[in-house]
Amino acid sequence: MNEYRYQHCIVRTPSHSCLEGITTSAFLGKVDYENAIRQHEAYIRALEQTGVRVKVLPAREEFPDSCFVEDVAVITPYGAIVTNPGAPSRNGEKEAIIPALKEFFPEEKIYYLQNPGTMDGGDVLLIENCYYVGISRRTNVDGFCQFREIVRGFGMDAVAVPVTDILHLKTGVVYVGEGRVLISGEFIRRPEFDGFEKFEVPEEEAYGANIIRMNGKIIVASGYPSVSRKLREWGYDIIETDTSEYKKIDGGLTCLSLRF
Ligand code: CIR
């Protein structure tokens, strides 16, 4: 089977207010804004190296976490699903993404999750034809059921996975391709991932589990040597980029873009 060919990414420039982004990692210190901007530019170049065009949306100061565009929409091969972000300070970000989605999708291919359902895109992991959806502090069962109904309409499916210890499902498990996952913490023993070849990312490198596979290349966060080593051993072509400023506000590689 031919690999899906990604053509576009959407990112949003981080706002100065990102220093006030929601975090459980305050011990890592405050975001250095200048460095965050430099890392964001390098991230865009890393995306471009996979052959996609990147649309850069302007910063939105009123939303400190709005650079994490992955959470506000899930882009499927059949249309875009606007989520209903579960953190009150982030919920308004969904309105801000709609104009950008309309540049790529006709009205009838844009779907909307509704209250009381909530979802963050960081909880949504596509493996082949099935979405694994974390039921987390941000994504509830109602949001999952609405999402499943939409994707079943596309001939796809969705299964729920409990997330208790970390922010989002994709913080701890990501599909590499070829039946392989990078997996850490609470997901290592989850039966939903039993059938996959797993690389159990060591606790101290858990942040590095969140990678992007796109157009035959893998983008990894720099500074997680066991992840890079394993991916090279598996034969993948790796691009490293530093997202240490985003780690301070719980953001990883995938959160910073929508890819389709
Ligand atoms: C938040 O707590 O919502 C942001 N500070 C981080 C969001 C990270 N998004 C993701 O993992 N998809």
**pLDDT tens digits, one per residue of 207-248:** 999 999 999 999 999 999 999 999 999 999 999 999 999 999
Backbone angles phi and psi of 172, in degrees to 5? -120, -10
Share of the chain above pLDDT 90, in %: 99
User: Does the structure show a pLDDT above 60 at 195?
Assistant: yes
The rounded Å distance from CA 223 to ligand 1 centre is: 20
Share of the chain above pLDDT 70, in %: 99
Q: Is there an atom of ligand 1 within 6 Å of 75 CB?
A: no
How much is the average pLDDT of 190-203? 97
Q: Is there an atom of ligand 1 within 6 Å of 22 CB?
A: yes
The average confidence (pLDDT) of the chain is 97
Annotated active-site residue 168? The verdict is yes
| Residue 36 near residue 17 (C-beta atoms within 8 A) | no
Output the pLDDT for position 86: 96
Q: Is there an atom of ligand 1 within 6 Å of 171 CB?
A: yes
pTM: 0.97
Instruction: Find residue 183's DSSP bridge partners.
Output: 173, 200
SS3 content of the chain, % helix, strand, coil (to 5): 35, 25, 40
Q: Is there an atom of ligand 1 within 6 Å of 98 CB?
A: no
User: Does the structure show a pLDDT above 60 at 53?
Assistant: yes
Output the pLDDT for position 13: 98
* Cβ neighbourhood burial of 191 (10 Å; 0-12, 13-18, 19+): exposed
Q: Could you give the domains of the chain? A: 8-259 (3.75.10.10)
Question: Which pLDDT band holds residue 56 (cuts at 50, 70, 90)?
Answer: very high
CA-255 nearest atom, ligand 1? 12
Annotated active-site residue 40? The verdict is no
DSSP string, 59-93: P-TT-TTTT-GGGGEEEETTEEEE-B-SSGGGTTH
Output the pLDDT for position 185: 97
**pLDDT tens digits, one per residue of 151-176:** 999 999 999 999 999 999 999 999 99
Output the pLDDT for position 3: 83
**pLDDT tens digits, one per residue of 85-123:** 999 999 999 999 999 999 999 999 999 999 999 999 999
User: Does the structure show a pLDDT above 90 at 131?
Assistant: yes
Output the pLDDT for position 1: 52
